[in-house]
Amino acid sequence: MAKHRRSFSKEWELTYFCVEDDDSARCLVCSEKLICKKYNIERHHKSRHANLTTLEGPMRAEKLAELLEERQAVIESASQSIREDRLTPEAAVRTSFKIAHKIAMRGKPFTDGEFVKECMTEAAEILCPTMVPKFASVALSPATIQRRIVELADDVSQQLHAKGKTVVAFSVAVDESTDDTSVAQVAVFVRGVEENLEEFEELLAMVSLDGQTTGEITADAIESALENAGFPLDRMFSLATDGAPSMTGRFAGVVARLRLKVKAAGAATDLIGVHCIIHREALCSKVVRLKSVMDVVTKTINFIRVKGQGLNRREFQTLMKDMEMEHTDLPFYTEVRWLSCGKTLKRFFEMRDEIALFMEMKQFPVDELKDPVWVRNLAFLTDITGHLNDLNVQLQGRGKLIVDLLDLVKAFLLKLDLWKMQLQEHDYSHFNCLKSMSYSDIDDNDMFIHSLQDLISAFNHWFSDAEPLDSLLQIFVAPFAVKPTEVAADLQMEIIDLQCDRQLKERFRLSKDLPSFYKLLPRLRFPKLHLIAARVMCMFGSTFVCEQFYSLMNITKSKYRSAISNENLQASLRLMCAQKIVPNIDRIVSRKRCQVSGGTSSSSSN
- What is residue 215's predicted lDDT score, i.e. its pLDDT? 86
Report how far residue 541's alpha carbon sits from residue 569's, in angstroms, rounded to the nearest whole number. Answer: 27
Report how far residue 287's alpha carbon sits from residue 592's, in angstroms, rounded to the nearest whole number. Answer: 60
- What is residue 181's predicted lDDT score, i.e. its pLDDT? 84
CB 385, CB 342: distance < 8 Å: yes
Which residue from 138, 145, 148 is spatially nearest to 598, judged by alpha carbons? Answer: 138
**What's the Cα-to-Cα distance from 462 to each of 280, 283, 586, rounded to whole Å?**
6, 8, 49
208/80: higher pLDDT? 208
pLDDT-derived band at 493 (thresholds 50, 70, 90) equals: very high
**Residue 110 buriedness (CB in 10 A; 0-12 / 13-18 / 19+):** buried
210/577: higher pLDDT? 577
**Residue 342 buriedness (CB in 10 A; 0-12 / 13-18 / 19+):** buried
pLDDT-derived band at 106 (thresholds 50, 70, 90) equals: very high
pLDDT-derived band at 604 (thresholds 50, 70, 90) equals: very low
**What's the Cα-to-Cα distance from 508 to each of 106, 479, 491, 499, 505, rounded to whole Å?**
41, 9, 19, 11, 5
CB 541, CB 277: distance < 8 Å: yes
- What is residue 439's predicted lDDT score, i.e. its pLDDT? 62
Report how far residue 407's alpha carbon sits from residue 40's, in angstroms, rounded to the nearest whole number. Answer: 95
Q: Above 80 in pLDDT, residue 265?
A: yes
- What is residue 336's predicted lDDT score, i.e. its pLDDT? 52
Q: Above 90 in pLDDT, residue 333?
A: no
Helix (H) or strand (E) holding 170: strand 169-178
Mean pLDDT for the stretch of residues 400-420: 96
Report how far residue 67's alpha carbon sits from residue 525's, in angstroms, rounded to the nearest whole number. Answer: 74
**What's the Cα-to-Cα distance from 408 to each of 238, 414, 429, 465, rounded to whole Å?**
20, 10, 21, 16
Mean pLDDT for the stretch of residues 349-363: 89
Angle at the Cα of 403 (from 381 to 500), degrees rounded to 5? 140
205-220 burial code (b ≥16 CB/10 A, e <16): bbbbbeeebbbebbbb
Mean pLDDT for the stretch of residues 255-277: 93
39/84: higher pLDDT? 39
- What is residue 423's predicted lDDT score, i.e. its pLDDT? 93
**pLDDT-wise least confident of 237-241, 354-358, 434-438, 596-600:** 596-600
Report how far residue 330's alpha carbon sits from residue 316's, in angstroms, rounded to the nearest whole number. Answer: 9
> Taking the mean position of all CA atoms in its chain, how far away is CA 332?
27
Mean pLDDT for the stretch of residues 269-294: 90
- What is residue 601's predicted lDDT score, i.e. its pLDDT? 40
Taking the chain, what is the end-to-end CA distance rounded to the nearest angstrom?
Answer: 52
Entry pTM: 0.79
- What is residue 442's predicted lDDT score, i.e. its pLDDT? 57
Mean pLDDT for the stretch of residues 283-295: 87
CB 173, CB 545: distance < 8 Å: yes
CB atoms near residue 297 (< 10 Å): 25
Q: What does 351-404 look like in DSSP terms, one character per residue? A: THHHHHHHHHHTT---GGGG-HHHHHHHHHHHHHHHHHHHHHHHH-SSS--HHH
Q: Above 90 in pLDDT, residue 412?
A: yes
- What is residue 440's predicted lDDT score, i.e. its pLDDT? 57
- What is residue 308's predicted lDDT score, i.e. its pLDDT? 64
- What is residue 600's predicted lDDT score, i.e. its pLDDT? 42
Report how far residue 79's alpha carbon sits from residue 409's, in angstroms, rounded to the nearest whole number. Answer: 69
pLDDT-derived band at 481 (thresholds 50, 70, 90) equals: very high
Which residue from 427, 410, 416 is spatially nearest to 450, judged by alpha carbons? Answer: 416
- What is residue 338's predicted lDDT score, i.e. its pLDDT? 58
**Which of 12-21, 222-231, 246-255, 308-317 has the highest mean predicted lDDT (pLDDT)?**
222-231
- What is residue 606's predicted lDDT score, i.e. its pLDDT? 35
Q: pLDDT by residue (tens digit) across 423-474? A: 999 899 999 999 988 765 556 788 999 999 999 999 999 998 777 788 999 9
pLDDT-derived band at 2 (thresholds 50, 70, 90) equals: very low
Percent residues over pLDDT 90 in the chain? 55
Question: H/E/C letters for each residue in 194-220?
Answer: CCCCCEEEEEEEEEEECCCCCHHHHHH
CB 124, CB 133: distance < 8 Å: no
Which residue from 377, 378, 404 is spatially nearest to 391, judged by alpha carbons? Answer: 404
- What is residue 454's predicted lDDT score, i.e. its pLDDT? 95
Specify which residues 24 forms β-bridges with: 21
324/446: higher pLDDT? 446
- What is residue 86's predicted lDDT score, i.e. its pLDDT? 53
Q: pLDDT by residue (tens digit) across 26-82? A: 898 888 888 888 888 888 988 888 888 888 888 888 888 888 888 888 777 766 655
- What is residue 84's predicted lDDT score, i.e. its pLDDT? 55
Mean pLDDT for the stretch of residues 224-247: 93
Question: What are the φ and ψ backbone dihedral angles of 452, each rounded to 5 degrees?
Answer: -65, -35
Specify which residues 21 forms β-bridges with: 24
Report how far residue 192's alpha carbon sits from residue 163's, in angstroms, rounded to the nearest whole number. Answer: 8
- What is residue 368's predicted lDDT score, i.e. its pLDDT? 92
210/101: higher pLDDT? 101
Mean pLDDT for the stretch of residues 521-527: 95
Which own/partner contact pairs does 388-391 have at CB distance under 8 Å and 24+ positions apart?
388/281, 388/284, 388/285, 388/288, 388/342, 389/339, 389/341, 389/342, 389/343, 391/281
Mean pLDDT of the chain: 88
Report how far residue 241's alpha carbon sits from residue 252's, in angstroms, rounded to the nearest whole number. Answer: 14
Report how far residue 372's alpha carbon sits from residue 379's, in angstroms, rounded to the nearest whole number. Answer: 10
Report how far residue 360's alpha carbon sits from residue 357's, in angstroms, rounded to the nearest whole number. Answer: 5
- What is residue 168's predicted lDDT score, i.e. its pLDDT? 96
